């Protein structure tokens, strides 16, 4: 599942993940949409934008953790805010990793696979 409010970024990420990575991607445009759709979609992995209007990424993560279907799903924040202290904070919130934005569409799928592998030994 990919949660991102910017349509252009959604499109690039979906293409990168589906075409290059062979992933099935459910795109949500807001935290509220992610909370509403996650139980039925039951994502195995969640890419979550940090800065979104309305409900931000950290708040969305907290609410996803409250759902049985996503309580232990690996979540990776995607953000331009990648100072070491910021990354440490995101990990304290429960993210398994952080992918910097802007991301490289050509390497996004392999980066996701790498993080997935580290979560699943």
**DSSP of 62-118, one letter per residue?**
HHHHTSTTTSS--EEEEES---HHHHHHHHHTT-SEEEESS--HHHHHHHHHHHHHH
Beginning with the edge strand found earlier in the chain, give each strand of the sheet holding 2-3 in spatial order: 27-28, 2-3, 46-49, 75-79, 97-100
CATH code (residue 115)? 3.40.50.2300
Q: What is the pLDDT of residue 120?
A: 80
**Per-residue tokens: 121:** 């030994």
The residue range of the domain holding 17 is 2-119
Q: What is the pLDDT of residue 23?
A: 96
Provide block-wise average pLDDT over 10 residues at a time, the chain (121 residues): 97 96 97 98 97 96 97 97 96 97 96 93 72
Q: What is the pLDDT of residue 35?
A: 98
Q: What is the pLDDT of residue 121?
A: 72
Q: What is the pLDDT of residue 3?
A: 98
Q: pTM for the whole thing?
A: 0.95
Q: Look at the chain and report how many structural domains it folds into.
A: 1
């Amino acid at each position: 599942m990919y949660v991102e409010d910017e349509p252009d970024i959604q499109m690039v990420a979906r293409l990168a993940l589906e075409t290059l990575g062979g992933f099935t991607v459910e795109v949500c445009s807001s935290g509220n949409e992610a909370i509403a759709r996650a139980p039925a979609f039951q994502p195995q992995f969640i890419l979550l934008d940090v800065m979104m209007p309305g409900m931000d990424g950290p708040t969305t993560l907290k609410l996803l953790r409250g759902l049985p279907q996503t309580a232990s799903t690996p979540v990776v924040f995607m953000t331009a805010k990648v100072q070491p202290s910021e990354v440490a904070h995101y990990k304290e919130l429960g993210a398994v990793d952080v992918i910097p934005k802007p991301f490289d569409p050509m390497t996004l799928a392999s980066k996701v696979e790498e993080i997935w592998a580290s979560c699943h030994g």
